[in-house]
Amino acid sequence: MLPEKPELTQADFDFVRSLVKQHSSISLDDTKGYLVSSRLLPVARSGGFESVAKLITHLRSRPHGTIHTLVLEAVATTETSFFRDFHPYEILRDQVLPDLIRQRRKTTRMLNIWCGACSSGQEPYSVAMVLRQVIPDIDTWTIQLLASDFSGAMVERARKGVFKQLEVNRGLPAHLLVRYFEQHGASWWVKDEVKRMVTFFQQNLDREWTSVPQVDLLFLRNVLIYFDVETRRRILRKVRRHLRPDGFLIMGAAETTLSLDDSFKRVQFGRAAFYQPGEGSGP
């Protein structure tokens, strides 16, 4: 049986760090050793390896393979929950979306929204529920709600819209659970009226965004912290090209564009700050 807390040698950690950086652009600092080892433990178990060290030895001996994908996706997966930190969703519901809806109602009756690192899907489904709350005539609108993740496994899981009791207990208000989910045994399934609103696809944020149109809202919450400075700058340049002039970039509470890209302007909403393209922003 594998130990519950496998230890990584510095050489093994450096190998995994290099592999992850090469394929996902995610940077792992020296404090992430335990995170990496704990994420690789179930991969080693499912692959029949005697230890995480044996798994890494296997990775070293073969430059490509299914196990490489499993390792990359295990390490690159980010933490998520329904309505995470909640306050940004209040701002979205009470201020940002009503303003955008008033403007778009006069013209196109269209909204494009992208969640750029959706993990297992809680974020885009949270956004979809907010949209249904604030747009009474939503069926007369054209709404494109996109959600992507580096991990193909996470994209497939998110697309299914099936969550465990523990997952819906984290952040999802009871009235929304009852309204937009159906219980099947120990699982909760997102109802079709919400699930069909979201289009999921796989996307490495440091590659070309060929599947992404101009968007009104772009969620990159608690994402850029996983990249080095130059990668953050490259991603923010692409954000500027894909964000409409009156659109908003929504980041994590501890994240900012300051010192990375001065062409964004910070818009404060109580305790939360969103970001818009400043004057002259462009490619």
The confidence band for 35, taking pLDDT boundaries of 50, 70 and 90, is confident
Residue type for position 173: P
Whether 63 contacts 14, CB under 8 Å: no
Task: Say if pTM beats, i.e. exceeds, 0.85.
Answer: yes
Task: Work out the average pLDDT over 264-281.
Answer: 86
pLDDT tens, 48-65? 998 899 999 999 988 777
The encoded tokens of residue 118 equal 């959706």
pLDDT for 254: 87
Residue 260 has pLDDT above 80, yes or no: yes
The confidence band for 279, taking pLDDT boundaries of 50, 70 and 90, is low
Return the CATH number of the domain spanning residue range 10-76.
1.10.155.10
Q: Distance (Å, rounded) from C-alpha 51 to C-alpha 11?
A: 15
E-only strand ranges, 126-225: 142-149, 162-164, 181-184, 187-190, 198-202, 215-220
Task: Work out the average pLDDT over 94-119.
Answer: 96
pLDDT tens, 174-192? 999 999 999 999 999 999 9
Q: Distance (Å, rounded) from C-alpha 239 to C-alpha 111?
A: 17
Q: Which residue has the tokens 């692409």?
A: 238
The dihedrals phi and psi of 144, each to the nearest 5 degrees, come to -110, 105
3-state helix, strand, coil in the chain (%, to 5): 45, 20, 35
Q: Distance (Å, rounded) from C-alpha 27 to C-alpha 20?
A: 8
Domain limits, the chain: 10-76, 87-277
The confidence band for 66, taking pLDDT boundaries of 50, 70 and 90, is confident
Q: Which residue has the tokens 């489904």?
A: 125
CATH class of 87-277: alpha beta
Residue 164 has pLDDT above 90, yes or no: yes
pLDDT for 6: 53
The confidence band for 87, taking pLDDT boundaries of 50, 70 and 90, is very high
The confidence band for 170, taking pLDDT boundaries of 50, 70 and 90, is very high
Residue 129 has pLDDT above 90, yes or no: yes
Task: Work out the average pLDDT over 68-75.
Answer: 85
Residue 3 has pLDDT above 50, yes or no: no
Task: Work out the average pLDDT over 99-127.
Answer: 97
pLDDT for 1: 42
Is 87-277 in the same CATH topology as 10-76?
Answer: no
Q: If DSSP codes are grouped into helix, strand and coil, which group holds residue 234?
A: helix
The confidence band for 5, taking pLDDT boundaries of 50, 70 and 90, is low
The encoded tokens of residue 171 equal 């952040």
Mean pLDDT of the chain: 92
Instruction: Write the DSSP string, 29-71.
Output: -GGGHHHHHHHHHHHHHHHT-SSHHHHHHHHHH-SSSHHHHHH
Whether 95 contacts 130, CB under 8 Å: no
The encoded tokens of residue 92 equal 């979205």
